[in-house]
């Protein structure tokens, strides 16, 4: 198998392709992406046979921005016979993967894809049994073993492949299923909730999304993101000229600041932990504002949206991330920077930056605090 399949948001295939071409080249792996607008995935064909396997081992999945899932696949299986779709699929993966722990029969996140989901669910049980009988899968589910993916792009037509559970998305179709909380003031609340799930390890929530922490929400109205911080029992300064939902104000945890987010300074400069920002502005301007906050020590972690331009979106995001990295390094600040086009993001990506420590004496940092 010498191809990589990457699932992405429909309409962002070019960005996903530009990213995988760029990232694989940097690893010395060469190939070419096949892109079809609106299909919801990219196939990247490596020139060397073993390079697809190398790519999914060496390229950290969490470092990709536009891919929702990354797996090795073989050639497209076409015209699967309706009387026995299972055997050709088993034949494709047998000898390639052994003792896999999970099977996902998936589709692209498109309207055509969704029409195939019912069929996929029906196929899963007999296919899983056949894969177990063939030794491709363990008899019990395991989240520590490779995942077998069967990716139906049309009726009777699928890619078969695998991903590694330590370097993939743990979610079916690469999409976390979150339920919209009825009492949240806007649907964009799901963006920040998803960002927490994607960027912050579950076992660190108690420490990094802790009760009583101080946070600032820039561009907060009507309060979808503030709602998430309130749910974590934080104390929030919500910055926006627009109104905040009364239900949030009634909690007593929110102070509404009717100010310009580009000039606002946190009231509790030394103890503010989070800044989140959803202001609709030029991406570079937001990126530099967030860099300022981290450099000034006004927050330890930041989550913010970059609204993407119509063209050269991968290049634009890359420039913003490089710009933040450069400025933090100039100030001796070590940081972890991650970005992802979340499922709940539209023409935008979400970025997370965590300040780890600062080399500049006098700056509060992780080592001094211990
Ligand atoms: C996409 S909405 C935010 C939605 C919010 N995150 C939520 O979940 O409900 C963008 C907000 O940014 C605010 N905004 C834009 N520019 C701003 C600025 N310079 N200062 C403060 N707020 C700004 C707008 O008033 C608008 O309410």
Mean pLDDT of the chain: 95
Atom 16 (ligand 1): residue with closest C-alpha? 279
- Calculate how far, in angstroms, residue 298's C-alpha sits from the geometric centre of ligand 1: 20
Query: Domain extents for the chain?
Result: 3-174, 188-368
Our answer on whether the CB atom of 347 is closer than 6 Å to any ligand 1 atom is no
* Mean pLDDT value across residues 326-336: 96
- 191: pLDDT confidence band, cut at 50, 70 and 90? very high
pLDDT in tens, 116-170: 999 999 999 999 999 999 999 999 999 999 999 999 999 999 999 999 999 999 9
* Mean pLDDT value across residues 216-227: 98
Written as one string, the DSSP assignment of 276-339 is EE---S-HHHHHHHHHHHHHHTS-SEEEEEEE--SS-HHHHHHHHHHHHHHHHHHTTEEEEEEE
pLDDT in tens, 28-64: 999 999 999 999 999 999 999 899 999 999 999 999 9
Look-up of token digits 């020590």: 297
Our answer on whether the CB atom of 199 is closer than 6 Å to any ligand 1 atom is no
Beta bridge partners of 150: 105, 160
Q: Which class in CATH covers the domain with range 188-368? A: alpha beta
Burial class (CB in 10 A: 0-12, 13-18, 19+), 344: buried
- What pLDDT is recorded for position 368? 45
Our answer on whether the CB atom of 231 is closer than 6 Å to any ligand 1 atom is no
pTM assigned to the model? 0.93
pLDDT in tens, 228-278: 999 999 999 999 999 999 999 999 999 999 999 999 999 998 899 999 999
Nearest-angstrom CA–CA distance, 316 and 19:
12
Closest to 307 (Cα-Cα) out of 223, 221, 219: 219
- What pLDDT is recorded for position 354? 97
- What pLDDT is recorded for position 310? 80
Alpha-carbon separation of residue 253 from 214, 216, 256 (angstroms): 10, 12, 10
- 363: pLDDT confidence band, cut at 50, 70 and 90? low
Our answer on whether the CB atom of 240 is closer than 6 Å to any ligand 1 atom is yes
- What pLDDT is recorded for position 311? 84
240 annotated to a ligand binding site: yes
- What pLDDT is recorded for position 367? 42
Our answer on whether the CB atom of 279 is closer than 6 Å to any ligand 1 atom is yes
- Calculate how far, in angstroms, residue 188's C-alpha sits from the geometric centre of ligand 1: 11
Atom 10 (ligand 1): residue with closest C-alpha? 279
- What pLDDT is recorded for position 344? 96
**Nearest ligand 1 atom to alpha carbon 186:** 9
Nearest-angstrom CA–CA distance, 335 and 353:
7
**Cβ neighbours, 10 Å, residue 225:** 28
Q: Does domain 3-174 have CATH number 3.30.2300.20?
A: yes
- What pLDDT is recorded for position 152? 98
Do residues 317 and 306 lie in contact, with contact meaning Cβ atoms separated by under 8 Å?
yes
Nearest-angstrom CA–CA distance, 185 and 178:
16
* Mean pLDDT value across residues 292-299: 96
Our answer on whether the CB atom of 223 is closer than 6 Å to any ligand 1 atom is yes
- What pLDDT is recorded for position 366? 47
- What pLDDT is recorded for position 358? 61
Burial class (CB in 10 A: 0-12, 13-18, 19+), 251: middle
- What pLDDT is recorded for position 323? 98
Our mutation pick for probing the ligand 1 site, out of 193, 217, 240, counting the most ligand atoms within 8 A of Cβ, is 240
| In the chain, % of residues over pLDDT 90 | 94
* Mean pLDDT value across residues 109-119: 96
- What pLDDT is recorded for position 49? 86
| Residues known to be catalytic | 307
Atom 26 (ligand 1): residue with closest C-alpha? 219
């Amino acid at each position: 198998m010498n191809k990589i399949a990457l699932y992405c948001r429909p309409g962002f295939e070019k960005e996903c392709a530009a990213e995988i071409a760029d990232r694989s080249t940097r690893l010395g792996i060469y190939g070419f992406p096949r892109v079809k607008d609106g299909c919801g995935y990219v196939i990247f064909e490596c020139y060397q046979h073993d390079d697809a396997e190398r790519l999914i081992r060496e390229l950290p999945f969490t470092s990709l921005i536009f891919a929702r899932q990354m797996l090795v696949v073989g050639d497209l299986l076409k015209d699967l016979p309706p009387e026995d779709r299972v055997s050709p699929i088993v034949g494709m993966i047998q000898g390639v993967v052994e003792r896999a722990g999970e099977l996902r029969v998936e589709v692209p996140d498109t309207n055509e894809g969704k029409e195939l989901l019912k069929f996929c669910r029906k196929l899963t049980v007999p296919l899983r049994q056949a894969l177990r009988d063939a030794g491709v899968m363990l008899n019990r589910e395991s989240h520590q073993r490779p995942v077998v993916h069967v990716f139906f792009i049309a009726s009777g037509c699928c890619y078969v492949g695998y991903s590694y559970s330590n370097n993939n998305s743990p979610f079916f179709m690469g999409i976390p299923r979150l339920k919209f909380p009825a009492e949240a003031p806007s649907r964009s609340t799901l963006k920040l909730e998803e960002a927490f799930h994607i960027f912050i390890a579950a076992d660190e929530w108690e420490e990094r999304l802790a009760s009583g922490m101080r946070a600032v929400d820039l561009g907060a109205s009507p309060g979808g993101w503030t709602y998430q911080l309130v749910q974590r029992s934080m104390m929030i300064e919500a910055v926006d000229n627009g109104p905040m939902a009364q239900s949030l104000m009634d909690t007593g945890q929110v102070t509404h600041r009717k100010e310009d987010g580009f000039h606002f300074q946190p009231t509790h400069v030394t103890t503010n932990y989070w800044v989140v920002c959803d202001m609709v502005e030029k991406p570079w301007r937001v990126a530099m504002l967030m860099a300022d906050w981290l450099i000034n020590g006004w927050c330890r972690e930041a989550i913010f949206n970059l609204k993407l331009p119509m063209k050269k979106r991968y290049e634009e995001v890359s420039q913003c991330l490089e710009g933040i990295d450069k400025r933090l390094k100039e100030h001796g600040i070590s940081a972890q920077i991650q970005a992802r086009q979340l499922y709940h993001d539209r023409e935008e990506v979400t970025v997370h930056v965590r300040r780890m420590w600062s080399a500049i004496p006098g700056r509060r940092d992780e080592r001094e605090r211990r």
